[in-house]
Structure 1
């Protein structure tokens, strides 16, 4: 078991067990949310905040939303523990981290895309051309984030184990410098850091693993997960359900209005040139909003992958990480007009 998950496992002592999601009552989300109510949502790289503002979905919400920007699941989990958040957007590993910690944060929304979770950035001068070339290399790694299962899936695809490589524990915000300076040979990056690395350090030899070499690696899966305290409150639960619905519509707007989204997010928020922003946007793929029950097998695979690598103390049940009162909320919103 790795250090962060060993620590999280010790925190489960005396912690309330995660209630079986299937035992939860079907929700009706009909509580009235007062206009002065505020929902606090953890964002990453301002993507939610800009999408809600640019699409106009924030104005449609009958309450206030405060966005707080974070980098990665571990920091978000700590903010939840401190009672600072109602809701957060994360990848597929943070719900596992929360589950192991004994501080469950039930999943209430899911977004799946047909693009890979990460692209692999290579250090200048790297000779890596295929996944099999990773043997003996140093790979940037961040436990408790979506990087963790993505790298483990990469090793599995390449027929390698953790013993065949060196996993270098880093904060996600340090991946760019680590691969640029050669501290690591390869780093999984999402956008826009991936494209920013290639453009900003092109003269220094920045390069990337060909997308074709990543064929078969996991597609990007994002979750909205929520505080159990908030989910016990009928008003906050109703607000969270409304947020999930409008999240689906905001994402659909970004894909239906690429020029406006590129300008609002990639250019104005992330300071990328418009042509780079357009390339990044095109690489993100098409989003869908599956029912929560439909992604349980994918989440179980993630859990089993991390467990098989010895990074969590026992096998967990993925279905326990979902609040199935929200099973169809995002899926139905994506198919309708709000």
Structure 2
């Protein structure tokens, strides 16, 4: 059954990454803050490595340090990889760091915020389904990506419709497994994001709920502690985050068509749709990084409190404990 392939199975996949953990940077004393040539950053990407692609498109991939990109189906897996020592830098929504830190001993800190669009974050039903709204999900089998934005906005949409989490038969699934389960009839609806939602629509899926106006648009960069302990690695991390901001500015400067072609090829969607999604996303909330702020910490605290209310977190979590301003100076300089 696809239901057996929950997010917990991703831990086994992370074991394959552990041999690379030793390559995630050497001892801090061996690195000069002005010489980044000895630095290698192992960086996570969700979906089709959008960040790597946009850097290359904007001719900003010629970094003075090495970047090793690893692809994941979600931010939750990236944070697991950070915890396992297999990633230096993870990008995710506000939610995965909450669960990664819930044991009280995280080996990472949130170091920067990347503002981004909240489009393609939806609850969908398959083609021909008689379910046309969230209220009709009572008693239905609903797939969702656990400990991610999909988990969060599905809970919020259920509350808006007067339903409790216990009113649905919730099935935690990875995005690709969820899409297969939806098309195969194993679930009645799917809460997911990104490429899986794009593909679902290509296959005739209908949107019955959206996280567009529920999610904050704050996407977090989390760095493993060993990155923060080295001036050179901090500088490299800040430079990479800033380059992604500059790359998207390059795209918005009349170059959407070219990047849409790259996106269409990677996501197997029509060029016109890829361009529309890109333009809509950048119009809704241009992709750009910013340093840590009290408002961004407070936003994630609201998210954590919601998961405590849901029962997904067993006790109150003070998110401020795993945020730091350690990258602020380097990031402001790089931007």
TM-score by length of 1: 0.80
Aligned to 1:90: 92
Match of 2:226 in 1: 229
Gaps of 5+ in 1: 9-29
Q: Which runs of 5+ in 2 are unaligned?
A: 1-5, 12-31
Determine helix, strand or coil for the equivalent of 1:324: coil
Aligned to 1:125: 128
Question: Tell me, what secondary structure is at the counterpart of 2:102?
Answer: helix
Matches within 5 A, 1:128-277: 128-199=131-202, 201-202=203-204, 206-209=205-208, 216-256=213-253, 257-264=255-262, 266-277=263-274
Question: How far 1:32 sits from its partner (Å)?
Answer: 1.6
| Number of equivalent positions | 302
CA shift in 2, pair 1:258/1:73, >3 Å: same
Q: What does residue 51 of structure 1 align with?
A: 54
What residue number does 2:36 align with? Answer: 34
Q: Which has the higher contact order (CA 8 A, sep 6+)?
A: 1
Secondary structure of the residue aligned to 2:217 is strand
Deviating above 4 A after TM superposition, structure 1's stretches of 4 or more consecutive aligned residues are 327-334
How far apart, CA to CA, are the structure 2 residues paired with 1:267 and 1:254? 15
Provide Cα deviations, 1:263-297, integer angstroms capped at 9, x if missing partner: 12x12333322122123223423225444212112
| SS of residue in 2 equivalent to 1:189 | strand
> Distance in 2 between the 1:147 and 1:331 partners?
31
1:281 maps onto 2:278 in alignment:
yes
Q: Which residue of 2 aligns with 1:310?
A: 311
Give the secondary-structure state (helix, strand or coil) at the position aligned to 1:83.
coil
| Structure 2 CA distance for partners of 1:95 and 1:78, relative to 1, 3 Å | closer
String of CA shifts for 1:46-82, please: whole Å, max 9, x gaps: 11110111112222x3212111111123432332233
With over 3 angstroms needed to count, the CA separation of the structure-2 counterparts of 1:176 and 1:51, relative to structure 1, is same
Identify the residue that residue 29 of structure 2 maps to in structure 1. none
Q: Is the 8 A contact 2:80 2:100 kept in 1?
A: no
**Does the residue aligned with 1:111 lie in a helix, a strand or coil?**
strand
